[in-house]
């Protein structure tokens, strides 16, 4: 354990947390993603905008994914959603990554973590299933997730027998002391949730699910405890089950409109993809910016786009044109772009996106059962 790690714990179940990204490199062995961008371009072609712009900032063993893809080997993209609230722009960031890798030909496994939502978040079971279907699956479809034989969406409580067998087997080769060293204090629901997440990540390698394939897991940085735990389990079951460590990438949080983490539990500071357009625009126009105290001061000193939630929306979602992004950045820094006109421009882009997305979403909700079978109860 690196000195200092004991005093800096990541909690994958916290709904809002401030991360010090430099400590993730120092204490937990996450490597900078930017160093791999030339290889990403060489192997995959054009990188996802979240890669180029530093939103995806770290990785574990991503080199193995690049090597496997270049060699024509099979790769599974595994990720999941906690169906605890409405689908917001932080979730869209994950969806963008799923769709990027699906287009590259990865096999896709998407878990709806209904068991964890029930046991850890203490949410109503029927509500969890409904949210999973009509918020998460529906929005994924509307954003462009394709239905094909290599795309699998499932609920944790309604899947295949070998998956559940893994959860039981994993419990044999891990101790509570080891789990608490990674997670801190645990309750029974969190113990089961951690073992289940390990099965979510590793089960695509089993023969029942098509045989060995490399696994990539894109997550927010707060989820790294699950990745470290799963990698330990993979090592212990390599001889018995042929499991290999998953690779992972880490993306920055989407900032809420008040400067804290965007979360479904903070609706006033979060823009949901189902918000009425006028509501979303009003929220955006109240957002914290990197502007100065007065117009005169901003013209003289320039704004601070690095601290601006509006600029972050451009980087993460609203602008794919890098030249336009650079223009806005420079004009803000120079003081020629003020917060009022900037918010108006962002609001127009947001409104256009939501209007088009919500038309697709209406149709997508009629198709969710084509993609996933919900639990009976």
Measure the CA–CA gap between 106 and 101, rounded to whole angstroms: 6
CA nearest to 98, candidates 77, 69, 81, 73: 77
The region, left, alpha or beta by phi > 0 then psi within -120 to 50, assigned to residue 259 is left
Measure the CA–CA gap between 76 and 201, rounded to whole angstroms: 9
* pLDDT at 4 > cutoff 60: no
Measure the CA–CA gap between 236 and 185, rounded to whole angstroms: 23
**Beta strands 31-32; 247-251: pairing state:** unpaired
Average pLDDT, the chain: 94
Measure the CA–CA gap between 240 and 237, rounded to whole angstroms: 5
**Beta strands 247-251; 56-60: pairing state:** antiparallel
Q: What is the pLDDT of residues 278-327, one digit of tens each?
A: 999 999 999 999 989 899 999 999 999 999 999 999 999 999 999 999 99
Q: Does domain 21-252 have CATH number 3.40.50.620?
A: yes
**Beta strands 151-155; 107-112: pairing state:** parallel
Per domain, the residue ranges of the chain are: 21-252, 267-364
| pLDDT band at residue 3 under the 50/70/90 scheme | very low
CB 314 within 8 A of CB 297: no
Residue 371: its H or E element: helix 368-371
Q: What is the pLDDT of residues 265-279, one digit of tens each?
A: 899 999 999 999 999
Instruction: Give the ranges where 174-223 is alpha helix by DSSP (H).
Output: 176-183, 188-202
* pLDDT at 142 > cutoff 50: yes
Q: Average pLDDT, stretch 244-255?
A: 96
For residue 210, give the DSSP letter.
T
| pLDDT band at residue 14 under the 50/70/90 scheme | low
For residue 260, what pLDDT is reported? 87
| pLDDT band at residue 185 under the 50/70/90 scheme | confident
Torsional sign, CA 156, 161, 163, 166: positive
Beta bridge partners of 80: 111
More confident residue, 310 or 23: 310
| pLDDT band at residue 261 under the 50/70/90 scheme | confident
Least confident of 87-91, 287-291, 330-334: 287-291
For residue 221, what pLDDT is reported? 87
Q: Average pLDDT, stretch 46-60?
A: 97
User: What percentage of the chain exceeds 90 in pLDDT?
Assistant: 88
| pLDDT band at residue 9 under the 50/70/90 scheme | low
Instruction: Give the ranges where 211-321 is alpha helix by DSSP (H).
Output: 224-236, 238-241, 277-285, 295-301, 309-313
CATH topology of domain 267-364: Tyrosyl-Transfer RNA Synthetase (1.10.240)
Torsional sign, CA 374, 215, 194, 266: negative
For residue 1, what pLDDT is reported? 43
Beta bridge partners of 109: 78, 152
pTM of the model: 0.94
For residue 17, what pLDDT is reported? 53
Measure the CA–CA gap between 255 and 308, rounded to whole angstroms: 9
């Amino acid at each position: 354990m690196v000195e200092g790690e004991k005093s800096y714990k990541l909690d994958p179940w916290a709904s809002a947390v401030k991360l010090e990204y430099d400590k993730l490199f120092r204490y937990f062995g996450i490597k900078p993603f930017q160093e791999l961008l030339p290889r990403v371009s060489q192997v995959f072609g054009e990188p996802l905008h979240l890669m180029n712009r530093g939103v995806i900032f770290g990785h574990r063993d991503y080199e193995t994914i690049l090597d496997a893809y270049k060699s024509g080997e099979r790769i599974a993209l595994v990720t999941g959603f906690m169906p605890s609230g409405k689908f917001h722009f932080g979730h869209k960031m994950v969806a963008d990554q799923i769709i990027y890798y699906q287009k590259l030909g990865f096999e896709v496994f998407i878990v709806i973590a209904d068991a964890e939502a029930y046991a850890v978040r203490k949410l109503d079971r029927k509500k969890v299933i409904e949210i999973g279907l009509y918020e998460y699956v529906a929005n994924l479809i509307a954003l462009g997730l394709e239905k094909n034989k290599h795309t699998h969406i499932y609920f944790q409580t309604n899947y295949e027998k070998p998956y559940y067998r893994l959860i039981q087997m994993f419990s044999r080769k891990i101790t509570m002391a080891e789990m608490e060293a990674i997670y801190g204090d645990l309750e029974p629901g969190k113990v089961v949730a951690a073992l289940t997440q390990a099965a979510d990540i590793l089960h695509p390698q089993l023969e029942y699910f098509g045989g060995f394939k490399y696994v990539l897991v894109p997550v927010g940085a707060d989820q790294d405890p699950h990745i470290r735990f799963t990698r330990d389990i993979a090592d212990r079951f390599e001889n018995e089950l042929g499991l290999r460590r998953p690779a992972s990438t880490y993306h920055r949080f989407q900032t809420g409109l008040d400067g804290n983490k965007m979360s479904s539990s903070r609706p006033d500071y979060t823009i949901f993809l189902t918000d009425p357009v006028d509501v979303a625009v009003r929220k955006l126009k109240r957002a914290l910016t990197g502007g100065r105290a007065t117009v005169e001061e901003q013209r003289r000193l320039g704004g601070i786009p690095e601290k601006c939630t509006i600029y972050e929306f451009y980087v993460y979602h609203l602008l794919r044109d890098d030249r336009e992004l650079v223009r806005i950045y420079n004009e803000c820094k120079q003081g020629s772009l003020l917060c009022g006109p900037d918010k108006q421009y962002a609001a127009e882009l947001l409104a256009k996106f939501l209007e088009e997305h919500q038309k697709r979403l209406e149709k997508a909700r009629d198709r969710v059962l084509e993609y996933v079978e919900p639990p009976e109860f």
